[in-house]
Structure 1
């Protein structure tokens, strides 16, 4: 085999190796997160927007509602979970009638043992 033929065979073999390479992964870019605009009119005295938290029940909602009733707080919707579910949770209940009418009762529950805050 001549030198020229040998170079040609090596070039073909090296060129054929590119056929077996996998395709490059597409570039992954971060997805922008949509920020919910604050509801106009809900601001604290300093002008900071107030976020409304949706009502969620938790494992200790009934316990907090019973404790609220003992303190004279009766609410329509009941005790809502304000934090993520876990060993320590914070509940909030609006008092719509009773001795605490118009106030908010907040309770902290640790491993289902609740204390008024």
Structure 2
């Protein structure tokens, strides 16, 4: 009797498990992402495109950061090189803290002699 009960329960489990593989519901629709440009194009007030310059450090980055701190500009990534490396370089630092918060500190360095612009 136990054997018959075991066979009946096993058959019921196998039959109910088989119904899991037969789906009457249609598959869910797949959302298609809208195509976006790789990088958004920023424009100034006159509609001219604004070029984004990647952050790069230069030989005078630390010097410009010290100059900026003396002017009350601190925070952010630090002083980034805006021009090609060479005898004359221009550095830019975004001020996120201090007295110059929200402004930009720029300096020109010629042969490692830096002057605020």
In the TM superposition, residue 76 of structure 1 has moved relative to its aligned partner by 1.9
Q: Deviations over 1:25-63 (max 9, x none)?
A: xxxxxxxxxxxx894351011101111100000000000
**What does residue 52 of structure 1 align with?**
52
* TM-score normalised to structure 1 length: 0.66
Is 1:110 paired with 2:87?
A: no
Q: Deviations over 1:47-87 (max 9, x none)?
A: 01111100000000000000000000002200000000000
How many aligned residue pairs are there?
Answer: 81
Which runs of 4 or more aligned residues in structure 1 lie more than 2 Å from their structure 2 counterparts after TM superposition? 37-41
Is 1:96 paired with 2:105?
A: no
Contact conserved, 1:73 with 1:96, CA < 8 A, in 2? yes
Distance change in 2, residues 1:107/1:91 (3 Å) = same
Structure 1 CA distance for aligned equivalents of residues 47 and 110 of structure 2? 34
Gaps of 5+ in 2: 1-36
SS in 1 for 2:49: coil
Query: After alignment, is 52-61 or 40-49 more displaced?
Result: 40-49
* TM-score normalised to structure 2 length: 0.66
Question: Within 5 A, what are the aligned runs for 1:1-117?
Answer: 39-117=39-117
Structure 1 CA distance for aligned equivalents of residues 93 and 38 of structure 2? 23
RMSD (Å), alpha carbons: 1.5
SS in 2 for 1:91: strand
